[in-house]
Chains A and B, each alone.
Chain A
Amino acid sequence: MNRRSAIKNLAIVTGGVLVLPSCLQRPTSIKLNNLNLDLEQENLLSEIAEAIIPATNTPGAKMLELHLLVMKMVDDCHEREDQYKFVNGLKEIDNNCNEIFNKPFIKLGLTQKVEFLLGIENNKFEKADITHFYHIMKSRTIQAYMNSKYVMTNLVKYELAPARYNGYFPVKI
C-alpha cells in the first residue's frame, strides 16, 4: 500500500478528520539523525539499490541490506544540502514514475526500472534533485556492495594480514 492510499483510507476510517501525515509515518528500521525518511521511502531505497545491484547467482542489494548503509552514510557523512537533495530527489522518483509509467517505481517491471534509472544516469532530468539523488545513491550503493562482508569474503577477498608483498606479480596480458 503506498502512502497516498493509506492516507485516503485512514481519512475514511476517521470520518474525514484531517490527520497530519507525520503521524502516519512508520519509522525507518535504523535510527536516523538528520534525514527525514519513513519506512516506505526506506523500501523504495531498497528497490532502487536492488535495481543497481540485483541478485544474480550471487546475492544482490536487498539480501545484503545495502540501502541501510547508504542511509547511514548519507545521514552521518554528507552535508545538509546533499541530504536535502537526497530526500527531495527520492520523492521525485515516484512523481516521475507515476507521470511516465502511471505507477510508482516499486511496481515497475525490471526492464522499466532499469530504463528509468538509466534515464536519470543519462541526464534526462539534468540538474534536478533526482539526478543529485541518483549519483549519491549509486556511488554509495557500489561502495556498500564492495565493502560488504559478502563481497569481501567471497568475491574480491580482503586480507587483513597479507603477510607478503610481491612487486613482480605476474599477470596475463
Chain B
Amino acid sequence: MSNLNITSTKQNTFDAIIIGSGISGGWAAKEFTEKGLKTLVLERGRDVKHIIDYPTTNKYPYEFEHLGELALNIKSANPIVSRCYSFSEESEHFFVKDNEHPYIQDKPFDWIRGYQVGGKSLTWARQTQRWSNFDFEGPARDGFAVDWPIRYKDIASWYTYVERFAGISGNKDGLSTLPDGDFLPAFPLNAAEDYFKKKISTKYPDRHVINARCAHLTKPKPIHIEQYRGTCLNRILCNRGCPFGGYFSSNASTLPWAQKTGNMTLRPFSLVHSIIYDDKKEKATGVRVIDTNTKEEIEYYANIIFVNASTLNTNLILLNSTSNRFPNGLGNDSGTLGKYIAFHNFGANITAELNGLKQYTTDGRNPSGGGYIPRFRNVFKQETNFLRGYSAELAASRSPVTDTKGVGADLKKHLIAPELGPWSIGAYFMGETIPKESNTVSLDSEQKDAWGIPLLKINVDYDDNDSKMKTDFLEQFTEMFTEAGFKNIQRKSFIQSPGLDIHEMGGARMGHDPKTSILNKWNQIHTCKNVFVTDGASMTSTSTQNPSLTYMALTARAVDFAIGEMKKGNI
C-alpha cells in the first residue's frame, strides 16, 4: 500500500499548479511551461477546444432556432445571467446558469461566470489599456485602500511583453494618463467620432478621444502566425469564439502554446476545494481537488501554486483553505481577505445626434467599438466633490430608418431599401469605485454547494461617491456634446447590480504591509511564499481602465519572479 501511495503521490506531483484557465491562468500556463516547468492547469468546468468547441461560430442569423434571441424558459430560469449583455442564443453555452452554481446575495450582485477552459476570455469585451502612475498612485494620493506596492515602471516592460504576444491594436497617442503600448494598427474612428475628437481637442485641451485599444490582430506578426492565429475579419461575433483566433483568448493563444511545450497537463472538471498548507514545512504543498463528474477527491502537489480562479472564486478558495497556521483563510493574518472588493460603475450613458456629415456612413464593422476617452477628472489634482473619475467608450453610427407603416408591396420595398438616419453617437460611462472594507465576500457557515464547499456570500454595494461621479459624467458629456454641435442629447442613468460590470476586483489585495494586505509587490502571499494570486483578486484599486491587460502583465511578471525565487531556493 505504501508503495502505491508513493507512486500516486509522484504521479500527482508537478512543478507548478495553476488554478483556473481563464485570461490570467492561461498566461501562467504559457510562462511556466515555456520555461520548462511541469505544470498542472486545473479548470472546474468542461474543456473548450479552440474552433472545435465553438458550435455557433459560423452560423448565420437564420440558422439559429430563435434568430439569436433567448427562449423565455431560459431567461426566466436564469434571471441573473440573462441580464448580461453578452448572454444570447449565440453564446449561452459559455455562461454559468443561475441554478448550477448558487451563491448568497446579502446585497444584489449579478455574478457572471464562465466555468470552462478559457473562462471568460472567450466572451470578454477585449478592451485593453495600460494603467499609468495616476492609477497606481491613486490610493496613496487620495487616501483610500492602501498604497499600491508597484508603480508603472515596475510593470511597463511586462505590458510590452504580453501585448506583443496577445496582439493589441491601438495608436501611440502620447498621453500620460494612458501609456502607449506595443501596438498593431488601430481600427479607425468613423466620420462622426473623428468630428467629435477634433471639436473636443480644440475646446478641452486635457480631454482626449482616441481609437479604442483592443486585443485584435489587425496585422498579425510572426509571433501570432506561430500561434496559428490570423487577421481579425471584422465579424464582431467574438463571444461565439473566433475560428481565426482574431481576438486574444486563452483557448486561441496561451493554452495551445503551453500545450505545445509538452509540459502542460490540463485537467477540466477539477474543482479546487482548498490549498493544502503544511504547518511543519511552513508552506503550501498542493491542492485538494474534487472531480465534478465522479465526486472523487484528489490531491495534487507542487512547489509553486498560482491562484487564477477569477476574482471571487479566488477569494472563496483562499477563505476555504484553513489550517492551524491560517484558521481564517490562507495568508489571512491581516483579516483583510475577502474585503475591499471593488468594481466598475457602468450605470450611465448619453446619446446624441449630429445633423451633418451626411455624405458618409460606415461600411463593414469595427470590432474595437469605436473611440475611448481616458479619465480627465481629478487627474493632476483633486478638483471635484468626488474621488477619482471615469473613462468613457464612444461609438457613433448611422442606423437605417425604416418606414414600417402599412402592409404589402410598399412595406416590403421600404424594408429592403431603408433610408439612412442621422449620425447617432453614444458615450458609455465607466467609473472607478473605491475599495471599502464593508464591500466583502465571505463563506456561509451552513449552506454548501453540490460538492460540499461553502457558498459564497456577497455583500457589495455602491456609495455616495459613485452617484456624485455619475452625475458629473452626465453633466460633462452633455456639455461636451453641446459644444461639439450635437442635438437631441439623451441622458440615461440607471443602477445595475454590482457584478454585471464583470469587473469585480480585490479581496486579496497587494500592499507593502502584511498587516493590511494579503499579497506583496510580486503577487506573492506575504506569509505563504509559494502561493501567488495574479487575477482580479489581487487588485488594490480599480482605475478607470479595463482590467484584463493588467492581470496578464502581473501574471507574466509574477511567474518570472517565482521561477527566480525557486532557482535561488527561496521557495
* Chain A interfacial positions (CB closer than 8 Å to B): 51-54, 56, 58, 60, 69, 72-73, 76-79, 114, 117-118, 121, 138, 142-149, 151-152, 155-156, 158, 160-171, 173
Contact = CB atoms under 8 A, between A and B. Distances in A.
A156 B194 CA distance: 28
Contacts of B408: 51-52, 54, 114
A23 B525 CA distance: 72
A161 B193 CA distance: 23
Interface stretch (B65-73, B506-514, B561-569): B65-73
Given A51-B407, A114-B407, A166-B364, A76 B188 contact: no
B359 A173 contact: yes
A147 to B, nearest CB: 5
B77 interface: no
Given A118-B407, A162-B233, A77 B358 contact: no
A171 B360 contact: yes
B69 A173 contact: no
10 contacts: A76-B71, A121-B405, A144-B67, A161-B235, A166-B362, A167-B188, A167-B366, A168-B360, A173-B358, A173-B359
Given A142-B404, A145-B415, A149-B60, A76 B66 contact: yes
Nearest to B413: A56
Contacts of A53: 411-412
A170 B405 CA distance: 29
B365 interface: yes
A47 to B, nearest CB: 12
B282 to A, nearest CB: 55
A155 B416 CA distance: 7
Contacts of B358: 171, 173
Interface residues of B, number: 45
A140 to B, nearest CB: 10
A73 B407 contact: no
A170 B357 CA distance: 10
Nearest to A144: B67
Given A147-B61, A160-B235, A169-B363, 19 more contacts: A53-B411, A54-B412, A121-B406, A138-B407, A142-B411, A145-B412, A145-B415, A152-B62, A162-B233, A162-B364, A163-B364, A166-B363, A167-B188, A167-B190, A167-B194, A167-B362, A167-B366, A168-B190, A169-B361
B233 A169 contact: no
Contacts of B72: 76-79
Interface string B362-382: 111111000000000000000
B233 A161 contact: yes
Nearest to B61: A147
Most buried by B among A145, A158, A163: A163
Given A167-B189, A169-B362, A72 B407 contact: no
A72 B65 contact: yes
Contacts of A79: 72
B191 interface: yes
B71 A77 contact: yes
A121 B359 CA distance: 35
Interface string B254-268: 000000000000000
A50 B191 CA distance: 40
For the complex of A and B, 10 pairs with smallest distance between CB atoms: A167-B190, A169-B363, A164-B364, A161-B233, A165-B364, A162-B364, A76-B71, A166-B363, A163-B233, A155-B416
B1 interface: no
A165 B71 contact: no
Contacts of A156: 416
B58 interface: yes
Contacts of A162: 233-235, 363-365
B195 to A, nearest CB: 11
A158 B361 CA distance: 17
B73 to A, nearest CB: 8
Most buried by A among B61, B62, B235: B62
Contact of A52 (B190, B362, B411): B411
Given A73-B69, A147-B61, A160-B60, A167 B191 contact: yes
Nearest to B409: A56
A12 to B, nearest CB: 39
Most buried by B among A60, A78, A161: A161
Interface string B387-408: 0000000000000000011111
Given A52-B407, A72-B65, A72-B66, A165 B362 contact: yes
Contacts of A54: 408-409, 412
A143 B67 contact: yes
B298 interface: no
B193 to A, nearest CB: 7
Contacts of B193: 167
A126 B411 CA distance: 22
Given A77-B66, A158-B60, A161-B233, A170 B365 contact: no
B188 A165 contact: yes
Nearest to A51: B407
Contacts of B62: 147-149, 152
A160 B58 contact: yes
Contact of A161 (B234, B360, B404): B234
B70 A77 contact: yes
Contact of A117 (B363, B404, B407): B407
A165 to B, nearest CB: 4
A59 to B, nearest CB: 10
Contacts of A142: 404, 411, 415
A145 B62 CA distance: 10
Given A168-B190, A173-B358, A146 B364 contact: no
Nearest to B398: A171
